[in-house]
C-alpha cells in the first residue's frame, strides 16, 4: 500500500482522529522547504512552510498545528529552541529534520521535546509515514482526555505518568 493510499484512507474514515494532519515546516533552504512541502501536500497533509523562527511563531499565532517539522540551523534561532516552544504548550508533535546527525545533537533534540529526530536527506515517504504515525498517536492520547473532560460524572480511568530510566 502506498503512502498516498494510507492518507486517502485516513481522510475517508469516520474516526475523528483521521482528520487532515496540519504541520508547520520550518526550513531556511528555499528549494528544500518547497520540495518537502509540495510532497507532503500530495500526501494530503496540510502544510504551512516558513523559513525562520519568526515565521514559526507567526504561524503558531494564527493556526493550530498537529506537528512541527523543524530544521536546527536557522538564521534567527535554533530549531532546538523552537522544539521546546512547540512541545511546551498545546499537545503538538515535534519532528527534527536536520543535517546535524551526531549523537549530541540527537540527544539535545530529544531533551528539547522532539518526538522524532530525522536526518537529511530524508525519504519523502518515510517522512510522510512518520508524520501520520505521530499524529495518530497524539490524537489517540488527546481524544480520550477530551472525552473524559466533557463527560458528566466521575471518570473510570486515571492518568499516570511513567518514567523510564536506563
> For the chain, which domains are there?
3-150 (3.40.50.2300)
Distance CA 63, CA 88 (A): 16
Say how many C-beta atoms besides its own lie within 10 A of residue 103's C-beta.
7
Of 42-46, 53-57, 80-84, 152-156, the range with the lowest mean pLDDT is 152-156
Angle made by CA atoms 113, 7, 3, in degrees to the nearest 5:
90
Distance CA 121, CA 123 (A): 7
Q: pTM for this structure?
A: 0.76
Q: Residue 150: its pLDDT value, please?
A: 47
pLDDT digits (tens, 9 = 90+) for 51-108: 999 999 999 999 999 999 999 999 999 999 999 999 987 789 999 999 999 999 999 9
Strands (E), the chain: 21-26, 45-50, 67-70, 93-98, 116-119
Residue 7 pLDDT grade (very low, low, confident, very high; cuts 50, 70, 90): very low
Q: How many helices, marked H, and strands, marked E, lie in the chain?
A: 6, 5
Q: Please determine, for residue 137, whether its predicted confidence score (pLDDT) is greater than 80.
A: yes
Amino acid at each position: 500500500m502506498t503512502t498516498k493510499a494510507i492518507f486517502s484512507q485516513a481522510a475517508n474514515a469516520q474516526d475523528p482522529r483521521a482528520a487532515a494532519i496540519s504541520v508547520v515546516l520550518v526550513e531556511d533552504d528555499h528549494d528544500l522547504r518547497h520540495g518537502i512541502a509540495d510532497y507532503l501536500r500530495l500526501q494530503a497533509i496540510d502544510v504551512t512552510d516558513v523559513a525562520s523562527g519568526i515565521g514559526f511563531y507567526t504561524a503558531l499565532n494564527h493556526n493550530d498545528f498537529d506537528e512541527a517539522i523543524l530544521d536546527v540551523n536557522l538564521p534567527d534561532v535554533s530549531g532546538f529552541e523552537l522544539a521546546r516552544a512547540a512541545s511546551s504548550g498545546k499537545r503538538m508533535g515535534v519532528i527534527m529534520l536536520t543535517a546535524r546527525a551526531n549523537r549530541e545533537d540527537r540527544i539535545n533534540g530529544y531533551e528539547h521535546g522532539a518526538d522524532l529526530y530525522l536526518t537529511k536527506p530524508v525519504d519523502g515517504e518515510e517522512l510522510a509515514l512518520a508524520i501520520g504515525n505521530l499524529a495518530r498517536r497524539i490524537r489517540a492520547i488527546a481524544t480520550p482526555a477530551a472525552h473524559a473532560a466533557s463527560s458528566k460524572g466521575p471518570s473510570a480511568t486515571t492518568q499516570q505518568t511513567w518514567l523510564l530510566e536506563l
